[in-house]
Structure 1
């Protein structure tokens, strides 16, 4: 499979970086950051340690025409930064709804990157959603602040499985009507 670009997913500009579709050349930086236990432990799906081939499989899934999730890279090259400082996604749900997921490279934590990316994605609303949802682990209050800062409302507590932790983890769930 030789996919290089995604044609049905827009580039979304922010003040400091662009959200652009994933490309094969992102594999190295995705693997570098996703291999960091601090990143993996705050996600549901990134294993730690990261198995060989998992980054390539993620990129191929992210570029597939029949994917159920649109994935963007936070690319700071326009502002003189690196090609990848984080990843954000919208997973399609039923009834014009999506679930937002994101992670930011640890070196960029507490710099406003996540809030800017989430807000840009909400404002662009590339899947024409009526509602977006997001969940964060309860031991990650910084991600909860990102969501509330971007207008998401608290819905309730739940739990979900984290591959990196090999355990169910308590979550807070949020939604934003568009």
Structure 2
């Protein structure tokens, strides 16, 4: 379970180039603009295509509810300099006791700039810094080398490949599976990388409640 610190929409993360904050109702148009694109939706397990009217509003409502309940951390990505419109999303969702799944999407016009890796790394540090999760998991469709590259740059290790259920894609599809354990994170990144001052208000040993973890929860690759 994510700690009380993350359960208010004032909570946000900062990187060199990005703000990661809770999604807002006013973000619906920006989210629709990139989530409705086939090249984005087809690589995810959760984004329907064609994108229904009101889908972004539904996502925002559910994301905020899960954040407030401590079940997940769903962030909208904005640049610190330049246009402040949301251009991506990253989520960390309780997958099983001691295990959290990460997913992300970026607007195509922003691909190749390193924003997905930058966002993933700060979310990884936040998960390991504020919970007792033993590992973070993620997957990528086998025809999505960009997503695989983001995971590898962020420290994830390839586990295996297999058929995973992607509900929005209508069935089972070949995917590559990855994990990042707490032990590897400590070894590879010398423990906690620099986190924003706001996250340091909570002890790094904040408890992940196994009794409240939902084993059916899936990381939104939104």
TM-score (norm 1): 0.89
After the TM superposition, which parts of structure 1 deviate over 6 Å for at least 4 consecutive aligned residues? none
> How is 1:15-34 mapped onto 2 (pairs within 5 angstroms)?
15-34=16-35
Considering Cα pairs closer than 8 Å and 6+ residues apart, tell me whether 1 or 2 has the greater RCO.
2
Map 1:85-96; keep pairs closer than 5 Å.
85-96=87-98
- Classify 1:69/1:108 alpha carbon distance in 2 versus 1 (closer, same or farther; 3 Å): same
1:127 positional shift: 4.9
Residue of structure 1 equivalent to 2:144: 140
User: Aligned partners of 1:102, 1:158: CA distance in 2, in Å?
Assistant: 20
Number of residue pairs matched by the alignment: 172
**Structure 1: tracts of 5 or more residues without a match:** 1-5
Q: Secondary structure at the match of 2:96?
A: coil
Question: Does 1:66 find its partner at 2:69?
Answer: yes
Runs of 5+ unmatched residues, structure 2: 1-6, 183-222
Counterpart check, 1:168 vs 2:169? no
Residues 48-77 of structure 1 show CA distances to partners (whole Å, capped at 9, x for unaligned) of 10112221111110111336332101111x
Query: Which has a greater percent of helix?
Result: 2
Note the C-alpha offset of 1:177.
1.1
Contact 2:77 2:88 in 1 (8 A): yes
Contact 2:9 2:22 in 1 (8 A): no
The separation in 1 between residues aligned to 2:87 and 2:100, in whole angstroms, is 23
- CA positional deviation for 1:149: 0.9
SS in 1 for 2:53: coil
RMSD value, Cα: 1.8
Distance in 1 separating the partners of 2:61 and 2:81: 27
Between the aligned partners of 1:110 and 1:59, the Cα distance in structure 2 is 26
1:106 alignment counterpart: 108
Higher strand share: 1
Select which of 105, 125, 133 maps to 1:123.
125
Decide which structure has the larger Cα Rg and report it.
Answer: 2
Check if 1:75 corresponds to 2:58.
no
Contact 1:49/1:164, CA 8 A, preserved across alignment: no
Shift of 1:124: 2.1
Tell whether the 8 Å contact from 2:9 to 2:21 is kept in structure 1 after alignment: no
